[in-house]
Structure 1
Amino acid sequence: MLKLVALLVFLIGYVYGQAFTCPTSSITVATPTGNLPTGVTNVTNVPAGTNCSFVFDVPNNYVILLKFSIDFQSDDDYVYIYDNNDAHKYYMINPGYAYYDSPLFMPATKATVRVVPSTAQTAGSVMDPYLHDIFVYDGDNINTATFLGNLDYVASTLTVSSGQSLSFVNPYGTDSAPFAYFLGNDASAVQGFNKYFAILATSRSIISGSMSDVSEFGAAYTFICVDCSTYYWTQMQFDMSITTPSRGSVSFQGQTPTHKRDKLIRYDPTTYTQNYLPQMMPTDILTINLVMSRIIFNVTTASSVANHLTPFDGRKGYIFSPNSWTPSANSFNYEFRDDSNLFNYTLNFDKMSFQSINDALTLKIGSGDAAPTVDQQYPRDQFGDNVTGSGNYMQVGLTASANSDIRLSYAMTQTTPSVCPSAPINVSSYSGNLPVGATNVTLIPAGTNCSFVFDIPNNYVILLKFSIDFQSDDDFVYIYDNYDNHKYYMLHPGYAYYDDPLFMPARSASVKLFSASGKTKFMLSYAYYSLGSYQQVTKNTGEYFPLTNVTRNVYYTISASSSSEQVLASTAQTMSAVPDAYLHDIFVYDGDNINTANFLGNLDDVAAGSIVSSGRSISIVNLYGSTPSPYFLGNDASTVQGFNKYFAVLTTSQSWISASMSDTTEFGAGFTFICLDCTTYFWTQMLYDSKFTTPSRGYIQFQGQTPTHKREKLITYDPNSFTQDYLPQIIPTDIFTINLFKARVIFNMTTASSLANYDAPFSGRKGYIFAPTLWTSSSANSFNFNFRDDSQQFNYNVTFNKMSFPVNTDVLTLKIGSGSGAPTVDNQYPRDQFGSGFVSANGNYLQVGLTASSSADVRLSFEMAPTGTVASTTAAPVTTPTTPSVVVTTATVTVPTGQTAAPVSSSTVAPPASTVTSNSSPVTATNTGATVTATVQTTTSEGISNFHGFLLAVFVLLALW
């Protein structure tokens, strides 16, 4: 039979103006190739008003390839393509540019059919455009069969073949690469459905979606896994706003509709619950039939995601011989197991048909490694409707011939044994899990309220590891210490966590477990650890060291300077550091031996609470092996215990510190600064805050080293006499301590001499110079200062407040002069006479040098004035003994403040209290000590002429650090 294809060209406007001829007869296979208009070799101008057709006669065993080259110049110009039935099939688009040789195959014929073709793609993928390139023919020979249509159209309309076969071909060849799969079904198997789909899956895929059909005909969905042989139906919910409860259903069968297998599983909305899932389906192809329902579902091909073999309370399901789903080896072996819980298992024998004498079904129900309570083999053993047994596991296995038909269903209910031990746990048990026998998190029954109590000998600690999956905010786990204080509680982070560690010291600890919901899962592992093998390292008060040195299997003992003294622990951090959560990992013991001493507390609590040892020593140990960044400093308790508060602060070379310190109590405050890699500080700026300072009594004092060293307070500034002219002041030591009383000061300090400009003279400047050994225990007792400004003259005045030279070679030199000429003053002491103890002279420079033994005591003060005046003698620094008092700190100084972010939390709340949660652990610590807030304020190195401007500059610089 000969069929026709027509090409219609219709032009409104004139394109290029050249003659254009419309053919008067159809083109046949006698002219197998050619160009239209006849004879052209490139795109040809089409005159305005053109309206004609190119008609092609296409024999049954042919197709025709049309290649279009078009340069549209108007949206009113058209090219249409019509099919065999004179139906408008295609039109050529106007993209706005010329295109060439755009291909289109057209077939010979079209008719009605009896095989139903379908295409399968992965869920969520876009429709494959290359499906349109495939021609479908109604028969088994494309040379004689009638053209049925393009595959995208035929598959989407459930078009049926007229006979037993369909054929399809892709005439576009390698230029067309469809990614879909093809599936043909017997028409009778799918023709009655309202709609039918095929969906591709792969191994380890998860498909979430919905299916719906509310018609009387239902819908079918075939899932095809291209590289796996098992599905797990994991979640499903009927949408009751669309589902008909009395008639709706979803059923499952193996393979395609064509295979006409039994519908093995059927869920209806009136009896279905989520307890039926996950359900395993051992087949690579699965068909679902949906009737008058809409469902939302999850299905996966990944067993690790499905958790198919995990028992839970109320679970139900089905087990079938694999041949019921698909032709395959007719065997399986499933073990449902949870060693942390006991279940009552029931297995129902819905159908048991064994076709060979060697066919066998095995069933075991039991617990742990003990002999199973049920151990059966069928058909050897007699069986009725079902078997019930109790245990941690149920094993079901099948080895059978191809025609054996086994259909089982099962149910599980969890038993609820008591999780509470009847007696305290001691070191004789060494380690274990609670509840007893658990190997994983265990469901805790509703109403549980009990304690696990641990007796801990003096030379032991116990490691508790918590694994918890909280399911209710009304379920709690609390930890109590040796004094039965509520020390910690376990957080509810919203997810399950496992083996979260917590060490507890002697002599006892307890864990209280309360479950209201009956849904929370819990397991506690414990192990006792001896401290007998830990090696001791000794330190004295006044010595500092990094806490990273306190490693596993080592403990540090810090002893006071005398047997009558006690120890008070402190930690030191840089100003910019946040409170270190790992301080809570360090245990502090009240004595020189962690195996015999009593536990004093965690270091963050001991330091913040100013807890003092009962004797001369304390010992610290880090059982976690963590790496806290602060340093440790122990002081003789008598030297700091009188303060309202005491802080230690770390600095480094070339650093700049801007901050505030305050204390308005009768006890004062102490601040120790420790430079880790330098030996000199420069106090560059300071301002008393009059709002918080008592003028008649307030002061700030400076002394070398730590309070324990009991050094003289060499410099005192009081608010009535202090001016900015006293600064910068050099402090030649790696450690110094400030005593602050009834005052608040805002200050700048640096360890960088380039920032301090210490040697630069200015009019009105005052200051102090001391022998270095008055500040520090270093044996080097020398200095050489050269205050010089060659651009101007000053009247330099030096006062000898104290001059003690115990060794003959001790020498102090003093020079005042100008330029390179002979100095006006060129003295050497003690060779020259001190006279009145005061020297004054004019010049560009003042040079002061000392080379002396460690016991030499030299104390000088100086003043610089304009020439022509003699400054009043600078008084020696005043030391005012006072009573230490409480500081009101308003700074963000990152000194130890008593706040902690440890992984645990005390329940005893004494105002003010703070709870800080660690990022690394769901255990939380609540501190009970007073909260000190520090405010770091930063400023420039210029003068402090305006208090509010100073604060503004502070915040800007701080943001740049």
Structure 2
Amino acid sequence: MIFSFLFCFFIRSASGAANFECPINPITAESGPIGVIPSNRVGLSVIPAKYDCAYHFLIYPGWALHFSISTHYDQLLGDNITFTDNLGVVRLLPTPNQHIDEWSSAPTAILHIRTLSNTSQMFAIYEFVNVEKKYQQVIIPTGEYLALENMKNRYFTFSSKANDRVALNIAVKNTQDYDTLLEFMFVYDGGDVRNCQMVGRLSNFLRNKKISTSSNVTILNFYDGKSPSYLIANDWSSEKPLLFKSREIRAFAEVSVFSKYKAILTSKNQQTTGELFDASDQGAAYTWICSDCNNFYWTVLKFHKSTTTVPKAYIELRSLSPTHNTSTLLNYSVSATLDRNFPQLIPSRMFTMINHYSGIAVTLDTSTSQAMTQRWLRPYDGRRGTIFSPSIWDPKTPPTFSFQFEDDNQKFMFGVNVKEVRIAAAGESLTIKTGPTASDNFSYKEFVSDSTDFWTRRESKGNFMQIAYDGLDRRSMAIVSFDMKQINSGTRDDPLYTIFVSI
């Protein structure tokens, strides 16, 4: 970058006395896109004693001002140099330093130099930057997230299709950590950088406001720092009722209805544990995001007696984020046999857990190891669970799945409920096999049309259960629940039982 090259060149030049003439009029881009202070020097320069000058900069809409400053002064002598951005935030520049960057958006910025001594030195280069020309805009719909690690030469606008206000939440890999790099990202309250005002640094926006005044909010990183955090945006306003499985459950399309809302970030081959609490009917919502995987294994759910209202407590899981307004896919309440539901596979990059009237401990694993896969596929006495087409959790993924639960040393009564199946294209099929491994093949076919919800149940004794859905069309899907009960080794095996659903 030319700006960085110039600074490195200037800072190596000889220091000495300089002409620190204080300008009368504001400095604008019309006087030149790049300038230096002092105007006649190209390196650290001695500032005169009893010098007091505020350099005012007028920044046009859609532009920004970039300062690179080097200083060497003694605050104990009463000398200081400050930078005031467009929001009026005053920053005392650290010293000594070789290179500090400061940015300001429109409309104004001030560099103020005050000295009592004649020993202080400084040198600064400033550049007016046309943001719309240098940075490319990327539009992201609410309900989705942004990885903050790569924002170079781009700025990002979250936009609500529902024309709702936009709520921002940060997700860090360790929820106890604070991401200092958020200090260097600018928030514009609107859909672009020309017609909308910069309203604060992202760190302050998340801490004090979190919500836009319009249906758009824009994020820009002038400093190019690679933050490891993710930023998720949701619609803000009130709830929308939804009727699901003959029970009225509120479909939370926006985050304002929750008692609290947080986002949790993880990555593959990580185990995340949490202690979550909520005492309200609205529930506390937590959106879990995996940065580089599409599977969560939920391995632990425990209700704490001291913080759980047993008759009312329940946990629900929904796909994606609240803005997607999805129905409940998994629901758990206090039970003596709760542990038998785990591990439970959640085939998605993102989902939302809502906690009602309870204090809970949870553990989720994103391991891609063979050991984790084997744990998911291992039968045990009393186990139950649900298998979903991944497309139910995330429409961007295919509906296909195939799992085989097997134990060569134990026999089980396998129960299977086909809760829902939708076949939208010729050649697609749902196949369920339960029985002993070495058995004569027996086939059962049931033909269905576009959509079926028939709660078909089949049972068979044996040591394996295979559930596979071969779906090609994104409109296709299947939901199958299962249960297992260990039986005596002397019990006679049933022949292989197969359900084959296709068109």
TM class by shorter chain equals: 0.7 to 0.9
The 3 A distance-change label for structure 1 pair 791 and 530 is same
The 3 A distance-change label for structure 1 pair 550 and 627 is same
- Quick one: distance in 2 between partners of 1:455 and 1:665? 51
Amino acid at match of 2:100: D
Equivalent position of 1:490 in the other structure: 93
- Quick one: distance in 2 between partners of 1:432 and 1:490? 19
Amino acid at match of 2:137: Q
Equivalent position of 2:17 in the other structure: 339
The 3 A distance-change label for structure 1 pair 867 and 616 is same
Superposed counterparts of 1:217-366, under 5 Å: 338-340=16-18
Superposed counterparts of 1:16-415, under 5 Å: 338-340=16-18
Equivalent position of 1:283 in the other structure: none
Equivalent position of 2:11 in the other structure: none
Equivalent position of 1:848 in the other structure: 467
Equivalent position of 1:599 in the other structure: 198
Amino acid at match of 1:465: S
The 3 A distance-change label for structure 1 pair 631 and 764 is same
Amino acid at match of 1:737: T
Residue 656 in 1 paired to residue 270 in 2? yes
The 3 A distance-change label for structure 1 pair 575 and 755 is farther
| Cα shift at 1:674 | 3.4
| Cα shift at 1:727 | 0.5
Q: Secondary structure at the match of 2:61?
A: strand
Equivalent position of 1:539 in the other structure: 140
Equivalent position of 2:417 in the other structure: 799
Aligned partner (choices 740, 745, 752) of residue 361 of structure 2: 745
Residue 527 in 1 paired to residue 141 in 2? no
Amino acid at match of 2:461: N
**Do 1:688 and 1:746's aligned partners in 2 also have CA atoms closer than 8 Å?**
no
Q: What CA deviation, in whole Å up to 9, does each residue of 1:512-549 have, x standing for no partner?
A: 44556665444444332222423333333344454454
- Quick one: distance in 2 between partners of 1:519 and 1:640? 55
Report how many residues are paired: 448
- Quick one: distance in 1 between partners of 2:117 and 2:303? 59
Equivalent position of 1:53 in the other structure: none
Residue 454 in 1 paired to residue 57 in 2? yes
Q: What CA deviation, in whole Å up to 9, does each residue of 1:91-115 have, x standing for no partner?
A: xxxxxxxxxxxxxxxxxxxxxxxxx
Q: TM-score, normalised by structure 2?
A: 0.76
Superposed counterparts of 1:823-902, under 5 Å: 827-830=444-447, 837-852=456-471, 853-867=473-487
Q: Secondary structure at the match of 1:764?
A: coil
Residue 772 in 1 paired to residue 382 in 2? no
- Quick one: distance in 2 between partners of 1:818 and 1:804? 28
The 3 A distance-change label for structure 1 pair 708 and 444 is farther
Equivalent position of 1:684 in the other structure: 299
Aligned partner (choices 302, 313, 319) of residue 704 of structure 1: 319
Q: Secondary structure at the match of 2:18?
A: coil
Q: Secondary structure at the match of 1:533?
A: helix
**Do 1:795 and 1:841's aligned partners in 2 also have CA atoms closer than 8 Å?**
yes
Equivalent position of 1:480 in the other structure: 84
The 3 A distance-change label for structure 1 pair 591 and 848 is same
Amino acid at match of 2:139: T
| Cα shift at 1:506 | 0.8
The 3 A distance-change label for structure 1 pair 515 and 642 is farther
- Quick one: distance in 2 between partners of 1:490 and 1:699? 52
Amino acid at match of 1:593: D
RMSD over aligned Cα atoms: 3.6
Equivalent position of 2:403 in the other structure: 785
The 3 A distance-change label for structure 1 pair 689 and 470 is farther
| Cα shift at 1:769 | 1.8
**Do 1:548 and 1:628's aligned partners in 2 also have CA atoms closer than 8 Å?**
yes
Equivalent position of 1:725 in the other structure: 340
What 5-or-longer segments of structure 1 have no aligned partner? Answer: 1-309, 311-336, 342-416, 870-961
Amino acid at match of 1:745: A
- Quick one: distance in 2 between partners of 1:661 and 1:602? 30
| Cα shift at 1:457 | 1.5
Aligned partner (choices 219, 229, 237) of residue 620 of structure 1: 219
- Quick one: distance in 1 between partners of 2:279 and 2:22? 52
| Cα shift at 1:822 | 3.4
**Do 1:590 and 1:617's aligned partners in 2 also have CA atoms closer than 8 Å?**
yes
Amino acid at match of 1:339: A
Residue 445 in 1 paired to residue 49 in 2? yes
| Cα shift at 1:724 | 1.7
The 3 A distance-change label for structure 1 pair 694 and 591 is same
The 3 A distance-change label for structure 1 pair 858 and 532 is closer
The 3 A distance-change label for structure 1 pair 842 and 755 is same
Which protein shows a greater Rg?
Answer: 1
| Cα shift at 1:729 | 0.3
**Do 1:472 and 1:519's aligned partners in 2 also have CA atoms closer than 8 Å?**
no
- Quick one: distance in 1 between partners of 2:40 and 2:309? 68
- Quick one: distance in 2 between partners of 1:866 and 1:665? 38
**Do 1:811 and 1:829's aligned partners in 2 also have CA atoms closer than 8 Å?**
no
Q: What CA deviation, in whole Å up to 9, does each residue of 1:118-174 have, x standing for no partner?
A: xxxxxxxxxxxxxxxxxxxxxxxxxxxxxxxxxxxxxxxxxxxxxxxxxxxxxxxxx
Amino acid at match of 2:383: R
The 3 A distance-change label for structure 1 pair 676 and 649 is closer
Q: Secondary structure at the match of 2:409?
A: coil
**Do 2:265 and 2:291's aligned partners in 1 also have CA atoms closer than 8 Å?**
no
Aligned partner (choices 354, 365, 370) of residue 754 of structure 1: 370
**Do 1:442 and 1:523's aligned partners in 2 also have CA atoms closer than 8 Å?**
no
Equivalent position of 1:822 in the other structure: 440
Equivalent position of 1:211 in the other structure: none
| Cα shift at 1:660 | 0.9
Equivalent position of 2:244 in the other structure: none
- Quick one: distance in 1 between partners of 2:84 and 2:487? 74
What 5-or-longer segments of structure 2 have no aligned partner? Answer: 1-13, 238-253, 492-503
The 3 A distance-change label for structure 1 pair 739 and 657 is same
Amino acid at match of 1:489: L
- Quick one: distance in 2 between partners of 1:444 and 1:779? 66
Q: Secondary structure at the match of 1:711?
A: coil
**Do 1:444 and 1:521's aligned partners in 2 also have CA atoms closer than 8 Å?**
no
- Quick one: distance in 2 between partners of 1:475 and 1:783? 69
The 3 A distance-change label for structure 1 pair 529 and 656 is closer
- Quick one: distance in 2 between partners of 1:457 and 1:714? 50
- Quick one: distance in 2 between partners of 1:477 and 1:635? 40
Aligned partner (choices 506, 509, 517) of residue 106 of structure 2: 506
- Quick one: distance in 1 between partners of 2:368 and 2:109? 51
**Do 1:651 and 1:673's aligned partners in 2 also have CA atoms closer than 8 Å?**
no
Equivalent position of 1:471 in the other structure: 74
Equivalent position of 1:567 in the other structure: 166
- Quick one: distance in 1 between partners of 2:284 and 2:120? 49
Q: TM-score, normalised by structure 1?
A: 0.42
Amino acid at match of 1:561: K
